């Protein structure tokens, strides 16, 4: 298994030895080194609980916003796969306003990631038809990380399907081969998922 890129880092100047992130981590992926609480990438499942728990904001999530804005500034054709949660994140605006704002920023196309969810659900139904065994959904990259890193004995139960984000991204690439594709959503683990070779 090739480990994806780490998504959470520690800002050493802000880490105040409170250890809240250590207590919050469900998989014990944060270790003290020289008095600093550092994320151990090979144990981290990118759930983000340490980020929420840190009162000093010493745990930070890597951002690719600058890279995306550089693509737009360079005049690249960029397609957006937009997580369905945007409706909650921007509840003061209508879906049309959110799409219009993204297009004003320079994105060429905006589509909901949920367009691929139907294909994933159909694949799951097909796999489960006539089966009695349990199947673990592969839609959540945090759960995929948890199984791969901490419970590899459960890998045979993992659904053999990519997530809606990956499937939608591949669909956009197939339909618009000259365009760059970006995903916009709140999930930390999706950053890591996008770095996997299959994505």
Beta strands in 11-120 (DSSP E): 30-33, 36-39, 59-61, 78-82, 109-112
The pLDDT tens digits of the residues spanning 121-180 come to 888 888 888 776 788 999 999 999 999 999 999 999 998 889 999 999 999 999 999 999
Residues in the chain, total = 199
Hey, is 63 helix, strand or coil? coil
Q: Is the pTM of this model over 0.95?
A: no
The pLDDT tens digits of the residues spanning 46-86 come to 999 999 999 999 999 988 999 999 999 999 999 999 999 99
Report d(CA 95, CA 46) in Å as an integer.
28
**51 close to 195: Cβ distance less than 8 angstroms:** no
């Amino acid at each position: 298994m090739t480990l994806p890129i780490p998504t959470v880092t520690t800002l050493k100047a802000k880490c105040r030895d409170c250890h809240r992130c250590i207590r919050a981590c469900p998989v014990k992926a944060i270790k003290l080194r020289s008095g600093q609480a550092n994320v151990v990438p090979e144990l981290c499942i990118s759930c983000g609980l340490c980020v929420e728990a840190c009162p000093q904001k010493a745990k930070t999530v890597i951002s690719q916003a600058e890279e995306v804005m550089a693509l737009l500034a360079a005049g690249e054709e960029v397609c957006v796969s937009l997580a369905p949660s945007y409706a909650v994140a921007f509840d003061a605006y209508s879906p049309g306003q959110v799409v219009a704002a993204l297009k004003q920023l320079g994105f060429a196309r905006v589509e909901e990631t949920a367009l691929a969810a139907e294909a994933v659900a159909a694949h799951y139904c097909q796999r489960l038809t006539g089966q009695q065994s349990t199947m673990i959904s592969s839609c959540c990259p945090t759960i995929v990380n948890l199984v791969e890193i901490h419970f590899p004995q459960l890998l045979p139960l993992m659904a053999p399907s990519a997530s809606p984000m990956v499937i939608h991204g591949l669909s956009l690439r197939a339909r618009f081969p000259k365009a760059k594709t970006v995903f916009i959503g709140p999930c930390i683990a999706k950053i890591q998922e996008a770095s996997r070779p299959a994505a």
